[in-house]
Chain A
Amino acid sequence: MLRSSLRKYWYPSLWLVMSTLISPLAKAVPEFYLELRDHLFYPSEITIPANKKVKLIIHNFDTTPEEFDSFELNREKVIFGNSKAYIFVGPLPPGTYHFFGEYNPNTARGAVIVVPQGDAHAD
C-alpha cells in the first residue's frame, strides 16, 4: 500500500517540484543592488521594470542583522551582518512598493519604484 501510494502521489509530486525548480534556471533575471549602512538603505528608492521578475541583492555592511520586510511586495528576508542576501520580486505592475528594516523601522526605510519597461535602469 505504501509503495502504491508512493507511485501515485510522491513520485508525481517530486517530479512536479523538480521540474518547477529546473525549468526557470535558464532564464536570466536582472539584478539590482542595495546597501545597508548604519541601518539605512542606499539607495532608499530603487527603480525596476514593470512586469519582469528581478533580483534585489542587498549587502548589509552593518555588524547586526536586518530583516527586509514589505507587505506590499509580500517579502520578508533576514540579512545577516556583514553579508549579502537576495530577494526575488515581481513581475509587478507599475507603482510604488514600500519596504522597511524590521529591526530598525524608523531609519531603514525605502521603496521599490516599478516603471514601464525601458524607463528602469540598474542602480
Chain B
Amino acid sequence: MTFRRNLWLWLLVIIAGWQQHARADGVVVDRVYHPYVLPNEREVEWRFLSRQTDEKNTLSQRIAFGHAISEYITVEAYIVGERDQSDDFGLQSYEIESRIMLTDQGQYDADWGILVELERQHERDNWEFTSGLLFEKEFGRTSLTINALLVYEWGVDLESELENEFRLQYRYRFIPEIQPAIELYTGEDFVGMGPAFMGIHRYEKQKQLKWELAFIAGLNGKGKDHSLRFALEYEF
C-alpha cells in the first residue's frame, strides 16, 4: 500500500512540475499516446487539428504511415501540413516517431512506454526533438493514460529551448465503437480540457479503423481558445 501511495504521489509531483514549467509557442493539443505495440501492425493515419483563438485560426493536418518493427517497437513517419499566416495551406514539416513498449499489458501495476520523435521543418533548418514517458492504468472499465513529454527545439529561426508537455486521457470502455473520454493538456502556457470520443471498427483479421474526436477548451486565458482534433487510423 505504501508503495502504491508513493507511486501516485510521485506521479502527482511530476505532473505538477510539468505544469509549472510550461512555456512558450506551439500547439499542445494532439493525440494522447498509449504505451502498447502489436507486432506485424501497419497503419495509415490522418490527423486534423483546428485551433481558434481571438487572434487567429490555426489548421494542421498530418498524414502518416507506421509499421511495427518488432514485438515492442513501432516506427511512424509523418508529413505535416499547416495553414500559414497568408491563409495558404502547405507542407510544414516531416517527422519520424517511435514508440517503445516497456512492459506487457497488465503485468505490473501500470503499463509503461517511451515516445521519441524528431521533426524537421520543410525548407527551414529548424528541428524539434520530443521524448517522454507513456503511462496507462486500468480502473475496471476505465483507463487512465498519461503522456509526460520533454520537447527540445533548435534551428535557424528558433531560439533553443526545452519545453514540457503533459497530456491526460481518462476513457470509459463502453463498447468498442464508442468510448467516451475526458482529455487534459498542459504545456506552452496552455491549459485545456474537454470531452473526447473514440472507437474502433473491425473489418477482418487485423484490418480495423480507429477514430478519435475531441473538443478542448483553453482554461487559462481570458479570450477564446478552442481546439478541435480528429484522427482516423486504418490498421492492416
Q: Which residues from A are CB-within-8-Å of B103?
A: 21
Q: Which residues from B are CB-within-8-Å of A5?
A: 21, 150, 162, 164
Asked whether any CB of chain A lies closer than 8 Å to the CB of B173, the reply is yes
Asked whether any CB of chain B lies closer than 8 Å to the CB of A2, the reply is yes
Binds B, one of A30-38, A42-50, A72-80, A110-118: A72-80
Give chain B nearest CB distance to A73 CB in angstroms.
Answer: 9
With contacts A16-B14, A89-B106 taken as known, whether A23 is within 8 angstroms of B3 at the C-beta atoms is yes
Q: Which residues from A are CB-within-8-Å of B164?
A: 5, 9
Asked whether any CB of chain A lies closer than 8 Å to the CB of B53, the reply is no
Q: Are A17 and B112 in contact (CB under 8 A)?
A: yes
With contacts A103-B205, A103-B206 taken as known, whether A87 is within 8 angstroms of B106 at the C-beta atoms is yes
Q: Are A86 and B109 in contact (CB under 8 A)?
A: no
Q: Which residues from B are CB-within-8-Å of A88?
A: 104-107
Q: Which residues from A are CB-within-8-Å of B140?
A: 93
Q: Are A9 and B17 in contact (CB under 8 A)?
A: yes
- Give residues 1-36 of A contacting B (CB, 8 Å): 1-2, 5, 8-10, 12-13, 15-17, 19-21, 23-24
Q: Are A10 and B112 in contact (CB under 8 A)?
A: no
Q: Are A75 and B105 in contact (CB under 8 A)?
A: yes
- Give residues 1-47 of B contacting A (CB, 8 Å): 3, 6-7, 10-11, 13-14, 17-18, 21, 36, 38-40
Q: Which residues from A are CB-within-8-Å of B158?
A: none
Q: Are B14 and A53 in contact (CB under 8 A)?
A: no
Q: How many residues of A contact B (CB 8 A)?
A: 35
Q: Which residues from B are CB-within-8-Å of A90?
A: 106
Closest to B161 in A: A1
Asked whether any CB of chain A lies closer than 8 Å to the CB of B133, the reply is yes
Q: Are A78 and B3 in contact (CB under 8 A)?
A: no
Q: Are B133 and A20 in contact (CB under 8 A)?
A: no
Name A67's contact: one of B38, B107, B108, B152 (CB within 8 Å): B38
Max chain A Cβ within 10 angstroms of own Cβ: one of B36, B108, B109? B108
Q: Which residues from B are CB-within-8-Å of A53?
A: 106
Q: Which residues from A are CB-within-8-Å of B7?
A: 16, 19-20
Contact with B along A53-79 (1 / 0, CB 8 A): 100000000000101000100111110
Asked whether any CB of chain A lies closer than 8 Å to the CB of B57, the reply is no
CA distance A93 to B140 in the complex (A): 9
Closest to B207 in A: A102
CA distance A78 to B205 in the complex (A): 12
Q: Are B10 and A12 in contact (CB under 8 A)?
A: yes
Asked whether any CB of chain A lies closer than 8 Å to the CB of B77, the reply is no
Q: Are A13 and B143 in contact (CB under 8 A)?
A: no
Q: Are B176 and A71 in contact (CB under 8 A)?
A: yes
Q: List 5 A-B contacts (CB under 8 A).
A: A12-B13, A17-B102, A17-B133, A67-B206, A88-B107
Binding site for A on B (CB under 8 A): 3, 6-7, 10-11, 13-14, 17-18, 21, 36, 38-40, 71, 102-110, 112, 133, 138, 140, 143, 148, 150, 152, 162, 164, 173, 175-176, 202, 204-206
Shortest 3 CB-CB contacts between residues of A and residues of B: A88-B106, A88-B107, A78-B39
Binding site for B on A (CB under 8 A): 1-2, 5, 8-10, 12-13, 15-17, 19-21, 23-24, 53, 65, 67, 71, 74-78, 80, 86-90, 93, 102-103, 105
**Extra A-B contacts (18), CB below 8 Å, given A19-B3, A23-B109, A86-B104:** A9-B17, A9-B18, A17-B112, A17-B133, A19-B7, A20-B108, A20-B109, A20-B110, A21-B102, A23-B108, A71-B173, A75-B105, A76-B105, A78-B38, A87-B104, A88-B106, A89-B106, A93-B140
